Chains A and B, each alone.
Chain A
Amino acid sequence: MLSASRSFCCLGIRTYQLRTDLLSRSIKLSASATMAFRHKNTRRIEGLDSNVWVEFTKVAADPSIVNLGQGLPDISPPSYVKEELAKAAAVDRLNQYTRGFGHPSLVKALSQVYERVCGRKIDPLTDILVTVGAYGSLFSTIQALIEEGDEVIIIEPFYDCYEPMVKMAGAKPVFIPLRYKNDGHSASSADWVLDPDELANKFNSKTKAIILNTPHNPIGKVFTREELQVIADLCIKHDTLCISDEVYEWLVYKGNKHIKIATLPGMWERTVTIGSAGKTYSVTGWKLGWSIGPQNLIKHLQVVHQNTLYTCPTPLQEALAQAFWIDYKRMDDPDCYFYSLSRELESKRDRMAQLLQEAGLKPVIPDGGYFMIVDVSTLNVDLSDVDEKQLYDYKFVKWMIRSKKLSAIPLSAFCGPETKRQFEKYIRFCFIKKDSTLDAAEAILKNWNKQTA
């Protein structure tokens, strides 16, 4: 009996101990649970969480929707590009780390191509940085050279990441819109221009850089030499840098010429020029881009790169290098992909324009790039009952996706806060799409016209 009671006692003590342990642990747990979770986001990303793409790619992911929204080719990349990737992946050494600032054979190929285009010597090791897409180049450039106290001029409409990236660097975006001249009926991207006086007023002692995008997304404008000279003159006068996003450099249509602002006198030393494999070779999923410029600028981008992701994937870089060699050798030949893609896209552009015109719309015909903007107000779609706070183009696109099964991107996504209302009747279509996609778009637009007639 005694031993039994003793063991009961012990059990009692053990149980008591266990209960106390559990109690103290649960107090600790509930204490940490009720304590306000102090781990918020950092100041640098405050307010940068929303993103038009995250919103609209989700909506348009439905395969029954004809997707002319995100800038994503649904045409195949050229077969030799895919073959080079297969070849590269088969080489054991090419599955391991390569040189951080850019795979040697790729920077060599880039230097050759761009030496030819720019007419100046480009050192592959010091004047080039390979990045994760042109997006990564924009990020590296802005992080390397822009900081609190700086102002950065952004031309509206703009590829949407420029604003959050400038803000993240602690700087102030200063917007200037492209305005259409004449009577307000613009038929071509060339009709959208900067007012030189307005532009000059945006420059001051705090202006660290201006971001130029030519050919321009979303309008498709190809800046002329005269227009570039206006910008260049101001950059030189105010000792301002130029971040030149030229990802659509090869996609320029008849009668137009892509001019690199870095080739204008006094501009090489203050310009970082950005390019993209995704747009050059229709391989957006390879996420390879590059920054080219003088060593004293590129070296700072390289420091950012070595502290952010260090190196880009090897087999993709090797394949890209080989593709560039193939096209470099035929740069005098019309079959060079740089020119053949442009010809292919020009006919798609013309078809897209026709489809929209037949639906009673007046698209802005782009001189370059693979986007086309159009004012949809003439369709008179009444969306006043929908959420008042949202801009018209956002409401329109969401409605069009739902009821017409056709997607596009609202243009106000590409505008600063002051200008959003100016562009809220415009939407952007992407036309780097295979024929069957454009056929499907045609069917929707023809049908639409019938309904509103």
Chain B
Amino acid sequence: FLSLSLQAKMSRPLQARRLEGTDKNIWVEFVKLAATYSKVNLGQGFPDFPPPDFLKESFVRALSGENHMLHQYTRAFGHPPLVKILAQFFGKLLGRDLDPMTNVMVTVGAYQALFCCFQALVDEGDEVIIIEPFFDCYEPMVKMAGGTPVFVPLRPKAPKDGKLMSSADWQLDPTELASKFSERTKAIVLNSPNNPLGKVFSREELELIADLCVKHDVLCISDEVYEWLVYDGKEHIRIASLRGMWDRTIIIGSAGKTFSATGWKVGWTVGPNRLLQHLRTMHQNSVYHCATIAQEAVAQGFQRELELYGTPDSYFVQLPKELQQKRDWLVQSLDAVGMKPIIPEGTYFLVADISKFKSDVPDVPDSDEPYDSRFAKWMVKNKGLAAIPLSAFYSVAHKNNYSHFIRFCFAKEEATLKAANDILQKWKQEKTSP
């Protein structure tokens, strides 16, 4: 015999409503597939080369030093040496005096920084503009905060005859973008350099966004984790440095991407105190502290980079140089077999058009699953090459708009890229041989 109230309780779902629509996650599925089938993994975004020696040495120094208190809690909003050097470094880049205690907060990766931003600033009923294609976590995070994601696509313009497309050819339509701003718009999420396309927003494009933010009094959550991975002499411009933007922008950065150490999960936010104070409240009520030792090592890494800034020895100069070569290598590989790469201006991702390979994976009309997803799964199972379907970076409503593209990660050792090339070449031969 169950009481009525007990029956009522048991018939309610166990989990909180805020989880609605946030349980699916592309990575859980594709990481498992890659682990099971892939011989060459160009899927999930992490380097298969080590972090630089100076960073590993910093970590070892922190560990082996006399100070065993590095194994204990540090300051909750960021280990003092780290926030100090971040304030110095980004102060220089932004041309501002930054207070390490109020203008900087350290987080568990850029991922947690994003989470804090949405939870601290997006309420039920707020709209958040997300530019497609987008790093997939933005959407569920906005939803979990009770917000409504409003999507606006980057649209590809046809490249000049014979040329390969560039990520620069994917652009926002200014009128379309303006139409997305409403009274309910709380924030826009900007990701430049952009994952997955590799687009580096130009000054004009940023000004377009900035003008709308100022006009509508909207915040800008600026995910700049790939800020150092910019190629062909392009410049990464920080939207917070544009007129009227500092007061309404939160800049997010990542040690994982900056120093090729994604497993350390050290990220940060930089911004005005009147926004960061709310991030601090959120942070102290969710994780409270971040691990100390990795923060200590990252601080030392930044100290070195501050001293070497702009010189050829700077890791921020060497890494993009190396990655640009790898990018060019992969572009060549893909172009040679008929996959059409979109040359990325930044990040370590590259998106390629796989329309020519459609024959291997037939179209299934009325399928729930977008073509590129089925293609990517088929490719990893049959060719051992892991990549991520572009539809993973689109909202449900738009998943089928660009369904013949897949994303490759090229932050990989030469041997890995060579092996990828071998797979592609063999595949092409199989297609063309009678």
| Co-assembled chains A and B | yes
Q: Contact: B6 with A89, CB < 8 Å?
A: no
- Tell me, yes or no, whether A27 is within 8 Å of chain B by CB: no
Q: Contact: A285 with B14, CB < 8 Å?
A: no
In the bound complex, residues from chain B placing their C-beta under 8 Å from that of A93 are 48
- Tell me, yes or no, whether B177 is within 8 Å of chain A by CB: no
Query: Binary interface profile of A, 68-97, with partner B (CB < 8 Å = 1, else 0)?
Result: 001011101100001001100110111111
Give A94 to B264 CA distance when docked, in angstroms.
9
Which of A301-309, A384-392, A437-445 interfaces with chain B?
A: A301-309
Q: Contact: B46 with A96, CB < 8 Å?
A: yes
Q: A86-B60, A161-B285 are in contact. Are A308 and B291 (CB under 8 A)?
A: no
Chain B proximity of A206: nearest CB distance (Å) = 8
Which of B109-117, B148-156, B228-236, B418-426 interfaces with chain A?
A: B109-117
Q: Quick one: which of A44, A296, A313 contacts B263, CB cutoff 8 A? A: A313
> Which 8 residue pairs across A and B have the least CB separation, nearest first?
A314-B263, A205-B5, A285-B292, A92-B50, A147-B16, A300-B15, A309-B112, A41-B278
Closest to B280 in A: A49
Q: Contact: A90 with B56, CB < 8 Å?
A: yes
**Chain B: number of interface residues, binned into ranges:** 35 or more
Q: A100-B27, A239-B9, A309-B265 are in contact. Are A133 and B289 (CB under 8 A)?
A: yes
Q: A32-B217, A82-B68 are in contact. Are A300 and B19 (CB under 8 A)?
A: yes
Which of B70-78, B84-92, B300-308, B376-384 interfaces with chain A?
A: B70-78
In the bound complex, residues from chain B placing their C-beta under 8 Å from that of A165 are 285
- Tell me, yes or no, whether A311 is within 8 Å of chain B by CB: yes
Q: Contact: A41 with B281, CB < 8 Å?
A: yes
Q: Contact: A95 with B275, CB < 8 Å?
A: no
In the bound complex, residues from chain B placing their C-beta under 8 Å from that of A239 are 6, 9-10
Q: Residues of A at under 8 Å CB distance from B?
A: 25, 28-29, 32, 35, 37-45, 48-49, 51, 53-54, 57, 70, 72-74, 76-77, 82, 85-86, 89-90, 92-100, 132-133, 135-136, 139, 143-147, 161, 164-165, 168-169, 204-205, 238-239, 278, 282-288, 296-297, 300, 303-304, 306-316
Give A35 to B214 CA distance when docked, in angstroms.
11
Closest to B211 in A: A28
In the bound complex, residues from chain A placing their C-beta under 8 Å from that of B23 are 303
Give A313 to B70 CA distance when docked, in angstroms.
16
Closest to B64 in A: A86
Closest to B248 in A: A39
Ordered by A's residue number, 30 sampled pairs between the chains whose C-beta atoms are within 8 Å are: A41-B277, A42-B119, A42-B123, A43-B124, A45-B120, A45-B285, A53-B76, A77-B68, A93-B48, A95-B262, A133-B288, A136-B286, A136-B287, A147-B16, A168-B285, A204-B5, A205-B6, A239-B9, A284-B73, A285-B72, A285-B74, A286-B291, A300-B15, A304-B19, A307-B115, A307-B140, A312-B265, A314-B264, A315-B263, A316-B294
Q: Contact: A49 with B265, CB < 8 Å?
A: no
Closest to A35 in B: B217
- Tell me, yes or no, whether B356 is within 8 Å of chain A by CB: no
Q: Contact: A205 with B287, CB < 8 Å?
A: no
Q: Contact: A300 with B14, CB < 8 Å?
A: yes
Of the candidates B14, B48, B76, B280, the one having the most CB atoms from chain A within 10 angstroms of its own CB is B14
Q: Contact: A144 with B6, CB < 8 Å?
A: no
Give A410 to B17 CA distance when docked, in angstroms.
36
Q: Quick one: which of A77, A92, A205, A309 contacts B115, CB cutoff 8 A? A: A309
Query: Binary interface profile of B, 50-74, with partner A (CB < 8 Å = 1, else 0)?
Result: 1100001001100110001111111
Q: Contact: B243 with A29, CB < 8 Å?
A: yes
In the bound complex, residues from chain A placing their C-beta under 8 Å from that of B285 are 45, 48, 51, 139, 161, 164-165, 168
Q: Quick one: which of B70, B120, B186, B262 contacts A97, CB cutoff 8 A? A: B262
- Tell me, yes or no, whether B274 is within 8 Å of chain A by CB: yes
Q: A39-B121, A97-B44 are in contact. Are A161 and B60 (CB under 8 A)?
A: no
Q: Contact: A42 with B122, CB < 8 Å?
A: yes
Give A99 to B46 CA distance when docked, in angstroms.
13
Q: Contact: B63 with A86, CB < 8 Å?
A: yes
Q: Contact: B287 with A135, CB < 8 Å?
A: yes
Chain A proximity of B123: nearest CB distance (Å) = 5
In the bound complex, residues from chain A placing their C-beta under 8 Å from that of B19 are 144, 300, 303-304
Interface of B is mostly: helix
Q: Quick one: which of B9, B217, B275, B284 contacts A38, CB cutoff 8 A? A: B217
Q: Contact: B69 with A74, CB < 8 Å?
A: yes
In the bound complex, residues from chain A placing their C-beta under 8 Å from that of B262 are 95-97
Give A57 to B123 CA distance when docked, in angstroms.
31
- Tell me, yes or no, whether B317 is within 8 Å of chain A by CB: no
Chain A proximity of B232: nearest CB distance (Å) = 27
Chain A proximity of B292: nearest CB distance (Å) = 4
In the bound complex, residues from chain A placing their C-beta under 8 Å from that of B28 are 100, 306
- Tell me, yes or no, whether B108 is within 8 Å of chain A by CB: yes
Closest to B137 in A: A307
- Tell me, yes or no, whether B209 is within 8 Å of chain A by CB: no
Q: Contact: A39 with B275, CB < 8 Å?
A: yes
- Tell me, yes or no, whether B293 is within 8 Å of chain A by CB: yes
Chain A proximity of B111: nearest CB distance (Å) = 5
- Tell me, yes or no, whether B190 is within 8 Å of chain A by CB: no
In the bound complex, residues from chain B placing their C-beta under 8 Å from that of A303 are 15, 19, 22-23
Give A306 to B264 CA distance when docked, in angstroms.
17
Of the candidates A97, A168, A204, the one having the most CB atoms from chain B within 10 angstroms of its own CB is A97
In the bound complex, residues from chain A placing their C-beta under 8 Å from that of B10 are 239
Q: Contact: A285 with B70, CB < 8 Å?
A: yes
Q: Quick one: which of A135, A300, A311 contacts B288, CB cutoff 8 A? A: A135
Q: A32-B217, A304-B19 are in contact. Are A283 and B284 (CB under 8 A)?
A: no
Query: Binary interface profile of B, 132-168, with partner A (CB < 8 Å = 1, else 0)?
Result: 0000010011001100000000000000000000000
Q: Contact: A285 with B73, CB < 8 Å?
A: yes
Q: A38-B217, A90-B56, A94-B263 are in contact. Are A29 and B291 (CB under 8 A)?
A: no
Give A374 to B144 CA distance when docked, in angstroms.
43
In the bound complex, residues from chain A placing their C-beta under 8 Å from that of B112 are 308-309
Q: A37-B274, A39-B121, A96-B261 are in contact. Are A132 and B290 (CB under 8 A)?
A: yes
Q: Contact: A44 with B286, CB < 8 Å?
A: no
In the bound complex, residues from chain A placing their C-beta under 8 Å from that of B174 are none
Q: Quick one: which of B50, B60, B219 contacts A95, CB cutoff 8 A? A: B50
Chain A proximity of B140: nearest CB distance (Å) = 5
Give A94 to B59 CA distance when docked, in angstroms.
13
Q: Contact: A49 with B277, CB < 8 Å?
A: yes
In the bound complex, residues from chain B placing their C-beta under 8 Å from that of A286 are 71, 291-293
Chain A proximity of B118: nearest CB distance (Å) = 9
Chain A proximity of B12: nearest CB distance (Å) = 9
- Tell me, yes or no, whether B182 is within 8 Å of chain A by CB: no
Closest to A53 in B: B76
Q: A41-B281, A145-B15, A205-B6 are in contact. Are A287 and B244 (CB under 8 A)?
A: no
Q: Contact: B111 with A309, CB < 8 Å?
A: yes
Q: Contact: B119 with A45, CB < 8 Å?
A: yes
Chain A proximity of B330: nearest CB distance (Å) = 19
Q: Contact: A97 with B46, CB < 8 Å?
A: yes
In the bound complex, residues from chain A placing their C-beta under 8 Å from that of B76 are 53-54, 57
Q: Contact: B263 with A82, CB < 8 Å?
A: no
Q: Contact: A41 with B120, CB < 8 Å?
A: yes
- Tell me, yes or no, whether B49 is within 8 Å of chain A by CB: yes
Q: Contact: A25 with B243, CB < 8 Å?
A: yes
In the bound complex, residues from chain B placing their C-beta under 8 Å from that of A94 are 263
Q: Contact: A310 with B111, CB < 8 Å?
A: yes
Q: A53-B76, A82-B68 are in contact. Are A89 and B56 (CB under 8 A)?
A: yes
Q: Quick one: which of B123, B144, B291 contacts A43, CB cutoff 8 A? A: B123
Q: Contact: B243 with A287, CB < 8 Å?
A: no
In the bound complex, residues from chain B placing their C-beta under 8 Å from that of A44 are 119, 123
- Tell me, yes or no, whether B282 is within 8 Å of chain A by CB: yes
Closest to A167 in B: B285
Give A38 to B183 CA distance when docked, in angstroms.
12
Q: Contact: B291 with A287, CB < 8 Å?
A: yes
Chain A proximity of B262: nearest CB distance (Å) = 5
Give A165 to B285 CA distance when docked, in angstroms.
6
